[in-house]
Chains A and B, each alone.
Chain A
């Protein structure tokens, strides 16, 4: 292929490899990233780290306004019901209660347990809880669907207008019949994934305060400008009258893109009570009503030729995004089946609705396809990596899986992997697995402001937000690199809709949207400083080593402080924004996992994971690695623990807490190795999504390799492992 790159790969320092990819950044941009990087691509500690570890960082939960009231929401105890009446009067008579509002309307319906009905605000949180319980609601209970199986039965009551099952389009390519005719082996299996909730450490919520007709909201959100728009649209007020502030926030993973139900309720309560109100969800509410990753099931028939080439893929898939929401996912994932068909159905049930969750659809498609790939490799008795490499799509500039599988396998010690089923004696079996990922990402549109002050201070403002991933530090690193200063010399102000516009943080777009905006804006500010104090043209201004000077001649210039003093009373103040040529989209990666499984208890322990991930120009290696670590820990939870379990008779979640909805604890986290592929010639690419995609698939394949039995649904609970082992003894699952 003409666009296939030549990829010499050289490992540097055991962690960072330089990959010679076709450049997607523009080296001729006037703002091009420096070839010699002083701070970029190094390991820089988070500038807000001390604030966070000392508890001084202010999250929405920590905002205490004078006269603050506390809001609580009354939620439906029924999975499906018509609201006959709502009586707020008993709540309004309760001690400390200052306001009560309807969220649902009489005549309307609630669609799941936890659906919002009404809300109150009171002087204390306990008073608000008591008052919410005092609201009298009369329900007409309606038939409901507590599971996908119930919803798909022909005799199921039609709960959703248009039907409980929404058939989507068929995807078809090639000639399926010919594909199966060419197959030497055929695998027919069903694979399944569970519903996973976001479990953001900081729950959803906000503090709202009115001053006349102007609203200020401190919100835990992934989009301060988007949330401003959401408040204004929902409340019917001008956007100019809304200010949204997110100084720090504790994760969102795709679930926090607007004011949400509780945000609007909070604003209405504050208006009615004429006092600021805080309304943060508790952990139960978070599980019930704040979003989730849809489940996925795929019944697949797939063929492989005797020489290990995929020939055919025929799948029927379905899943649930809860009440009225979709459940799509890519299938097959990455690998090339020349003849394929896939039919998908969205199944609606009476449960909380899905929201975007870290790489929407990809972990499901990856798990299902990568499990199938190992089964097919076993049929042709081929090493799983060799089999994958043989069936990867034609290589494109951002599809580096072949090379990553090879370099990762060498580092991981893949040559020590035994065939399926650990032959060693004893109850503890070990195994290895692998899986690949891809993501688009890319970002644009961010605006920024840079002030250079006469006292030498530098302030960079941007209306982006830091979800906890290190965006503040990323901005400081870029500004310091550009100005020839240290990271500590830069004051970063973000998380406020009064700052220049930036899009929401989602889909791995923050770094590629924000980084160019900061580079362009700060460069322009430097150029203005240079022209004013050195009297040289803008394109001749440079900065290095704490000096502003003529490009190529550091001795012809001024020390930073001296240069700034010459500004006298008028600072440099520049507004600018994202420009093309400094960032790109498209990332690929692979992961390897090694597990040990106790075949007497069924308990799986992930021993180690290796992540090989490309990410364009690494801005801050430390926070880029943190993204990978966080993504993989989330993947461990998806593989082994997390599961929203609904009671099949009541549709109530039985584990809406962090005691029975399990997330990985410290002792569950394996040894993690990361190989980040630095690709400066591509510009900045986000990696929020990709590292979480393939972890569960790699772990699941490692479990099969360990115990010689395939568990085809996650989470891989001890019960499922033991059941699969029992099935193997009874006749085999492979």
Chain B
């Protein structure tokens, strides 16, 4: 039985985040490596972008990332 490609991202979820938020990990289907995860720590090099602007800033000029682009944060550009 094939292992189907889901979930798309550990960082961005449809429930919590703006529908326009993207990062590379949402397009790359990887198998998390236990050794790498243990080694990784909690540093973050994720490059996010907004599909409304295709940039790291949203249409309101503020950064697009998993911390800022969450539902209910009052940001007018969030979907």
For the complex, would chain A's binding face be called helix, strand, loop or mixed by DSSP majority? loop
With A and B bound together, what is the CA distance between A260 and B22 in angstroms?
Answer: 12
Give chain A residues whose Cβ lies under 8 Å from the Cβ of B43.
168, 171, 328-331, 344, 361
Residue from A160, A501, A506 within 8 A of B63 (CB atoms) = A160
A443: chain B residues at CB < 8 Å are 28-31
Q: Does A326 contact B (CB under 8 A)?
A: yes
* Smallest Cβ-Cβ distance to A506: which chain B residue: B28
Is A399 located at the chain interface by the 8 A CB criterion? yes
Bound-state CA distance A441–B32 (Å) is: 7
Name 18 interchain pairs, CB-CB below 8 A, sorted by A.
A161-B63, A168-B43, A230-B51, A230-B54, A321-B45, A324-B57, A324-B63, A329-B43, A330-B41, A443-B29, A444-B5, A445-B4, A505-B28, A507-B28, A580-B3, A584-B31, A585-B33, A586-B35
| Interchain CB contact under 8 A, B47 and A578 | no
B51 near A260 with CB under 8 A, answer: no
B35 touching A396, Cβ below 8 Å: yes
B31–A109 contact, CB under 8 A?
A: no
Does A226 lie within 8 Å of B45, measured CB to CB?
no
- A585: nearest chain-B partner, CB-CB: B33
Is there a chain B Cβ closer than 8 Å to A450's Cβ?
Answer: no
Contact present for B27 and A506 (CB under 8 Å):
yes
Known contacts: A168-B44, A578-B3. The answer to whether A326 contacts B65 by CB under 8 A is: yes
A226–B27 contact, CB under 8 A? Answer: yes
Q: Which residues of B contact A171 (CB under 8 A)?
A: 41-43
Chain A residues 364 to 423 lying within 8 A of chain B, measured CB to CB, are 393, 396-399
Chain A hits for B34, CB < 8 A? 586
A503 touches B63 (CB 8 A): no
Q: Considering only CB atoms, which chain B residue lies closest to A107 in the complex?
A: B61
Q: Which of A45-53, A240-248, A349-357 contacts B (4 or more CB under 8 A)?
A: A349-357
Chain A residues near B2: list those with CB within 8 A.
Answer: 576-579
Which residues of chain B come closer than 8 Å to A353, judged between CB atoms?
Answer: 47, 55-56
Taken together as a complex, chains A and B put the C-alpha atoms of A579 and B43 apart, in Å, by 31
Contact mask for chain A residues 229-264; partner B; CB cutoff 8 A; 1 contact, 0 none:
110011000000000000000000010011111011
Across the interface, name the chain A residue whose C-beta is closest to B36.
A440
Complex: A161 Cα to B25 Cα, angstroms: 26
Q: Is A279 an interface residue (CB 8 A)?
A: no
A499 interface residue per 8 A CB criterion: no
Rounded to whole Å, the gap between the CB of B65 and the closest CB of chain A is: 7
* Cα–Cα, bound, A322→B57 (Å): 11
The answer to whether residues A440 and B59 also contact, given A445-B5, A503-B29 and a CB cut-off of 8 A, is no
Question: Which among B28, B47, B63 is the interface contact of A504 at CB below 8 angstroms?
Answer: B28
Q: Which residues of A contact B32 (CB under 8 A)?
A: 440, 442, 585
Q: Are the CB atoms of A323 and B45 closer together than 8 Å?
A: no
Question: B46 at interface (Cβ–Cβ under 8 A)?
Answer: yes
